[in-house]
Amino acid sequence: MVIFLAGVYELSSHYDFNRPTILIGGLLGLGLTYMYPEIFHYAYPLPVFFLIILSTFWGRREWAGRSAFLILFVLFFLLPSATSLIRLAELTIGNIIMIIWLLQLNDSFGLLFGKMLGKRHPFPKISPNKSLEGFLAGGVGIGIGIWLLHTYIPVLPSWDLSRDFALFAIFFVLGNAGDLLFSSLKRKLDIKDFGSILPGHGGVLDRFDNILFVSPTLFLLIRLGLIL
Give per-residue pLDDT as tens, 83-108: 999 999 999 999 999 999 999 999 99
Q: In the chain, which residues have pLDDT < 50?
A: none
Q: How far, rounded to the nearest angstrom, does the alpha carbon of residue 15 sit from its chain's CA centroid?
A: 21
pLDDT at 90: 93
pLDDT at 157: 80
Q: Which residues of 105-122 are buried (b: 16+ CB within 10 A; e: fewer)?
A: bbbebbbebbeeebeebe
pLDDT at 180: 94
pLDDT at 128: 87
Count other C-beta atoms under 10 Å from residue 137's C-beta. Answer: 21
CA atoms within 13 A on the CB side of 27: 9
pLDDT at 40: 60
Cα radius of gyration rounded to whole Å, the chain:
17
Alpha helices in 129-228 (DSSP H): 132-150, 161-169, 175-189, 204-223
pLDDT at 39: 63
pLDDT at 223: 86
**Prediction pTM value:** 0.89
CA atoms within 13 A on the CB side of 3: 19
